[in-house]
Amino acid sequence: MLRTATGLTSHLRPSTITTTTRTMASTSTPKPQPLAAVHNHETYLSQGIPSAASLDRDPLAQFSRWFKLAQSQPDKVPEPEAMSISTVDPNRPVPSTRVVLLKQVDDRGFVFYTNYASRKGRELFPNHQDYDADADTPPESAEGAYASLAFYWRALHLSVRVVGRAEKLDRATTQAYFDSRPVGSRIGAWASEQSGVLPTGTRDELERRVRDVERRFGVPEGTATGSAVVDAGPPGPGPGGDEGKDLDKDPQIPVPPFWGGVRIVPFEVEFWAGRESRLHDRYRYTRREGADEGEPWTVERLCP
């Protein structure tokens, strides 16, 4: 028997105690070692959101007001159209987030363009099939999965969060926008198997594919890399401008069957304004998914 430090008698042998301790030590998770740390945070001093009455009754109209404010200050907010979009793998509940560029906000939702075969494309439209130009109708329903967007305009201490369902834009709208892009961007859309693995692991492989597409459409070699510097797009979301290209000399490049527009149709939109002492203003708009266009939104103030 072994008398313990508490004065109680134990029937465990000392060797047993030692072995147990060693086992626990060997299977315990190592303490994480910090690689980077943040010791100071910015103080938020926006004008805030005084009340629900100060907001537009429609969150898309309210977003437009804030977005135009961000656009009007390019020295402070150089890329207001940058937004994070989060999607979820349809086969397992694993999220994925990346930054894309908003191209337009309309009275239905938030529009951007992407490769439907990319990871986000597959997660937004799990049943996607390439568009058949000879078919009378698209090969699938235009409705997709759920997604979440986030905008953050640091200099203004304003942020917007969106939750909605994805839908595909019609091909005529996609074609019109695609035609407005610089030649290099259109070549790139064909050449890049977005999210796919490059077998060689080098940029040379990507550039070879670009040259192949240039030859396919009769575009002078090097056009894609030479035009990349003007691929900035219009100054913010809109129907799509000419983006610096020469229409009179524009080569005819069809829109890829795996590429197109996406609209996120929201049923929840939150507006956040940073305030002092982390007592931020938060207002959330909600309405049922699939609501009629004129159906009112519910606006609620959230705790910070």
Amino acid at 13: R
pLDDT tens, position by position, for the chain (304 residues)? 444 444 444 444 444 444 444 454 556 889 999 999 999 888 898 889 999 999 999 999 999 999 999 999 999 999 999 999 999 999 999 999 999 999 999 999 999 999 999 999 999 999 876 666 555 445 555 679 999 999 999 999 999 999 999 999 999 999 999 999 988 889 888 888 787 777 887 788 788 888 888 888 878 787 777 654 444 444 444 434 445 445 445 778 999 999 999 999 999 999 999 999 999 999 999 999 999 888 999 999 999 9
Query: Which pLDDT score is estimated for 138?
Result: 52
Query: Which pLDDT score is estimated for 236?
Result: 45
Residue ranges per domain, the chain? 52-181+231-302
H-run or E-run covering 267 = strand 259-273
Query: Which pLDDT score is estimated for 115?
Result: 94
> 269-288 b/e with 16+ CB inside 10 Å = b?
bbbbbbbeeeebbbbbbbbe
Q: Which CATH number fits domain 52-181+231-302: 1.10.3660.10, 1.20.1200.10, 3.40.50.1970, 2.30.110.10?
A: 2.30.110.10
Region for residue 222 given its phi and psi (left: phi exceeds 0; alpha: psi -120 to 50; beta: otherwise): left
Is the pTM higher than 0.85? The answer reads no
At 224, is the secondary structure helix, strand, or coil? Answer: helix
Query: Which pLDDT score is estimated for 28?
Result: 83
What values do phi and psi take at 87, rounded to 5?
-130, 170
The half-sphere exposure of 138 on its side-chain side, counting CA atoms within 13 A, is 17
Query: How many residues comprise the chain?
Result: 304
